C-alpha cells in the first residue's frame, strides 16, 4: 500500500511526541507555511533540522522550493534522511550534518529559519545573515521559550533555564536595535520573530 503524504507526516509528528523532539507546533507551522506562500519564498536555509518535519512542511509549500538544513545530532540527522526519502524530497532538501556555528554556507537565500540552540540565536544570526538576500527574511522560533520568557526570574527554578531566557531577551534587544532589519515578534505558536532585511538604498 502506498502511504499518502498526510499519513507519513502524521507518523513523523507522532515520532516527535514519543521521542520528545521539539518540532514546531501546529500554529507555528501554519504561520510559517502561510508566510512562505504569501512572500513566494523559494530558497530557504534552516538552522536546526531535528527529524526534518519543518523542512518537509516548508518544501511542500510549492514545487520550486528548496531547503538547506543543518543538524548536529547524528540520530536526528539520520531520522531526517529517512523521513525526507519517504516523501521523495531528496532532490529539494539538502541535509548538512554539522554544528551550524562551524558551517560555512555558500549562496544567498530568501529566508533563513533559525530554530536551534536558543542561547545561540545572536551567533546564528550574525553568521548566516551574509547568506540572506536584500529584502529577505530571518525567522526565529521559540521567542517565548515555552512561555518562560514572560515569567519573572524568581518563578524559574532551573539556573540553566534562567540563562537561556536571559539570552533570548538579549536576542530580542539585539533584533530591535538592529537598523538593518525591521523585526516583528508575533504572538503565535511559541513566539515567532520575523526580521525583514531592508533593501540597500531604501528609506
Ligand atoms: N526545526 C525543527 C525542530 C528543531 S529542534 C522542526 O520544527 O521540525 C532544534 C534542533 O536544533 C535540535 O535537533 C538540535 O540538535 C539542533 N541544534 C541545536 N544547536 C545546533 C547547532 N549549533 N548546530 C546544528 N544543530 C543544532
Ligand atoms: Mg522550535
Question: Is residue 39 within 8 Å of 107, Cβ to Cβ?
Answer: no
pLDDT in the model for residue 201: 63
| Whole-number pLDDT of residue 121 | 98
**Cα 63 to ligand 2 centroid, rounded to whole Å:** 24
For residue 121, how far is its CA from the centre of ligand 2 (angstroms)? 12
What's the CA-to-centroid distance between 69 and ligand 1, angstroms? 9
What radius of gyration do the chain's Cα atoms show? 17
How far apart are alpha carbons 134 and 154 in whole angstroms? 42
> What are the Cα distances from residue 50, in Å, to 40, 115, 138?
25, 9, 19
For ligand 1, atom 10, name the residue with the nearest CA.
Answer: 48
CB of 79 closer than 6 angstroms to any ligand 1 atom: no
pLDDT digits (tens, 9 = 90+) for 11-21: 999 999 999 99
Stretches in the chain below the pLDDT threshold 70: 201-203
Amino acid at each position: 500500500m502506498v502511504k499518502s503524504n498526510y499519513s507519513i507526516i502524521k507518523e513523523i509528528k507522532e515520532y516527535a511526541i514519543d521521542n520528545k523532539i521539539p518540532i514546531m507546533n501546529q500554529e507555528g507551522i501554519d504561520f510559517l507555511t502561510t508566510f512562505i506562500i504569501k512572500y513566494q519564498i523559494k530558497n530557504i536555509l534552516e538552522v536546526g533540522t531535528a527529524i526534518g518535519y519543518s523542512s518537509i512542511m516548508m518544501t511542500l509549500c510549492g514545487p520550486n522550493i528548496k531547503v538547506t538544513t543543518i543538524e548536529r545530532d547524528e540520530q536526528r540527522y539520520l531520522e531526517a534522511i529517512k523521513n525526507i526519502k519517504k516523501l521523495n524530497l531528496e532532490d529539494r532538501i539538502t541535509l548538512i550534518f554539522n554544528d551550524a556555528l562551524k558551517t560555512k554556507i555558500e549562496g544567498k537565500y530568501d529566508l533563513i529559519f533559525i530554530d536551534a540552540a536558543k542561547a545561540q540565536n545572536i551567533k546564528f544570526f550574525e553568521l548566516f545573515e551574509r547568506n540572506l538576500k536584500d529584502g529577505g527574511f530571518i525567522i526565529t522560533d521559540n521567542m517565548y521559550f515555552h512561555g518562560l520568557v514572560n515569567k519573572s526570574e524568581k518563578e524559574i527554578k532551573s539556573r540553566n533555564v534562567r540563562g537561556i531566557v536571559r539570552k533570548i531577551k538579549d536576542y530580542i534587544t539585539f533584533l530591535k536595535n538592529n537598523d538593518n532589519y525591521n523585526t516583528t515578534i508575533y504572538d503565535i505558536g511559541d513566539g515567532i520573530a520575523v526580521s525583514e532585511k531592508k533593501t540597500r538604498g531604501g528609506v
